[in-house]
């Protein structure tokens, strides 16, 4: 197969550097320094990607263009995907909004001399990247057929090309994850520490959603949570529980209120969650309030949500998990809008009032309604809860 070329172009390189450095002489910030910083960041990002997806050749051409050559299409696709993901994280999480790459991929026999492309395919890819929009992944006509055979890398419908290259082919890089890659490793974009008013953040995985919850939880004064039992045997959720326990130990930590629906046909997760929350409500009477109600098998389950400080609402979205045999959070939406959050908070308070706190007789009735709850399952759940609480106590 011919070589595969990936061209990366940083948009607005000259103009942005000048505007960012304007009137910054007192701290020795100049356009040259901004450009040098951007080049260093892109070089570092490219080096990180190259450690795993090794190009056969690479070069920094001029001020705002990078060139990478690969012997395999799959390696080139993964490199481009990883490069955009890392730059996306730099922009959205670290606030480096002037890092705005556009990349293009072509298949052919690249020829490069004195920083200039001589072959038609590389020139075409360069024009696509140069005229493209930030964070877009373009595929040159020379590579469309090869890319179309990829089982995971998908092309969007063609649009008119600003570079007069016929049709412009865009890749849906944000919506895909390469096969055989751990999902936790694949998710690199997470929530900025501060959300602007009326900002909406979409989490593409449970891992990303939990990370966003933890960030909000760390600075909140109050957290009202509604949803089903949190699985205590899943590492992702164990980390969430540990963080919540750490918040409860802090004297300046948030106050928690939890309202849970308890599936009667899931005795293990339901009983463990009831026991953990019951203990926390006793240990932290002024910081943790808990209420619950049972739902029978087959009843539709409400989506989960958390309200932070009556200002931010986090909505968990579910899909069926083959591994656990039950719907679990697979993505989420977080909205910072006080009016919307207050509507959810008002509904939450009214529902909590109707169910009331979890008195011993209420807990007993719910536990009695759990199908298949054996003494062995109870012991296993109690051990799990004890382990979490003891680990939390040691950490303090």
Same domain? For 121 and 200 the reply is no
User: DSSP class of residue 204?
Assistant: S
The half-sphere exposure of 283 on its side-chain side, counting CA atoms within 13 A, is 12
Residues 105 and 237 in one domain: no
Q: Which DSSP letter does residue 62 get?
A: T
Predicted pLDDT of residue 195:
45
Helices 267-283 and 360-368: angle between axes, nearest 10 degrees: 170
Q: Is residue 253 part of a domain?
A: yes
pLDDT number for residue 306: 95
- Residue 260 inside a domain? The answer is yes
Whether 346 is covered by a domain: the verdict is: yes
Q: Which residue has the tokens 């719910």?
A: 366
pLDDT score, position 136: 92
Do 219 and 97 share a structural domain?
Answer: no
Q: DSSP letters of 228-268?
A: S---TTSHHHHHHHHHHHHHHHSTTPPEEEEEEEEETT-HH
Residue 336 backbone dihedrals phi, psi, to 5 degrees: -100, 95
Distance, in Å, from the CA atom of 199 to the CA atom of 336, rounded to the nearest integer, reads: 5
Determine what percent of the chain falls in helix, strand and coil, rounding each to the nearest 5. 45, 25, 30
Q: Which residues of the chain are under the pLDDT cut of 70?
A: 1, 157-168, 180-198, 320-328, 394-396
Longest Cα–Cα distance in the chain: 82
Domain assignment present for residue 181? The answer is: no
Distance of CA 293 to the CA centre of its chain: 31
- The answer to whether residue 104 is domain-embedded is yes
Report pLDDT for 396: 58
User: Which pLDDT belongs to residue 281?
Assistant: 94
Report pLDDT digits (tens) over 264-316. Answer: 999 999 999 999 999 999 999 999 999 999 999 877 777 799 999 999 999 99
Number of domains in the chain: 2
Q: Are residues 359 and 267 in the same domain?
A: yes
Tokens 């109707």 correspond to 354
Last residue of a domain, one of 133, 149, 175: 175
- 360 belongs to a structural domain: yes
Can you give the residue range of the structural domain that contains 259?
Answer: 191-395
Q: What is the CATH number of the domain that holds 28?
A: 3.30.70.1230
Q: Which of 123, 147, 175 represents a domain boundary (last residue)?
A: 175
369/81 Cα distance (integer angstroms): 49
Give per-residue burial for 269-286: e unless 16+ CB within 10 Å, then b.
Answer: bbbbbbbbbbbbbeebee
pLDDT, position 137: 94
- 285: tokens are 């009477």
Q: State residue 191's pLDDT score.
A: 34
Q: How far apart are CA 235 and CA 242, in angstroms?
A: 10
């Amino acid at each position: 197969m011919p070589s595969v070329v990936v061209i990366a172009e940083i948009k607005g390189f000259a103009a942005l550097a000048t505007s960012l450095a304007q009137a910054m002489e007192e701290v020795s910030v100049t356009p040259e320094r901004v450009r040098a910083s951007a080049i260093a960041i892109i070089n570092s990002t490219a080096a990180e990607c190259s450690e795993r997806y090794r190009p056969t050749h690479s070069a920094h051409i001029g001020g705002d263009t990078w060139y990478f050559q690969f012997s395999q299409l799959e390696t080139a696709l993964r490199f481009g995907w990883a490069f955009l993901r890392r730059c996306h994280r730099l922009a959205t999480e670290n606030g480096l909004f002037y890092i705005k790459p556009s990349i293009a991929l072509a298949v052919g026999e690249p020829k490069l001399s004195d920083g200039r492309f001589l072959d038609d395919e590389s020139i075409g890819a360069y024009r696509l990247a140069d005229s493209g929009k930030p964070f877009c992944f373009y595929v040159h006509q020379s590579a469309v057929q090869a890319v179309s055979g990829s089982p995971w890398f998908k092309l969007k419908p063609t649009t008119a090309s600003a570079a007069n290259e016929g049709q412009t082919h865009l890749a849906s890089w944000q919506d895909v994850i390469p096969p055989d890659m751990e999902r936790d490793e694949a998710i690199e974009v997470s929530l900025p520490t501060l959300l602007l008013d009326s900002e909406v953040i979409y989490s593409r995985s449970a891992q990303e959603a939990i990370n966003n919850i933890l960030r909000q939880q760390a600075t909140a004064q109050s957290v009202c949570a509604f949803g089903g039992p949190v699985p205590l045997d899943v590492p992702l959720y164990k980390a969430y529980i540990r963080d919540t326990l750490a918040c409860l130990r802090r004297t300046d930590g948030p106050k928690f209120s939890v309202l849970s629906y308890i599936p009667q046909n899931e005795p293990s997760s339901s009983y463990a969650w009831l026991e953990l929350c019951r203990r926390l409500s006793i240990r932290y009477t002024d910081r943790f309030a808990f209420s619950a109600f049972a739902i029978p098998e087959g009843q539709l389950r409400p989506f989960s949500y958390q309200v932070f400080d009556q200002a931010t609402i986090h909505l968990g979205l579910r899909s069926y998990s083959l591994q656990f045999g039950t719907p679990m959070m697979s993505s989420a939406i977080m909205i910072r809008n006080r009016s919307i959050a207050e509507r959810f908070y008002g509904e939450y308070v009214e529902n909590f009032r109707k169910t009331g706190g979890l008195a011993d007789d209420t807990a007993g009735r719910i536990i009695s309604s759990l199908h298949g709850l054996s003494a062995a399952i109870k012991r296993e759940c109690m051990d799990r809860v004890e382990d979490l609480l003891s680990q939390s106590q040691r950490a303090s």
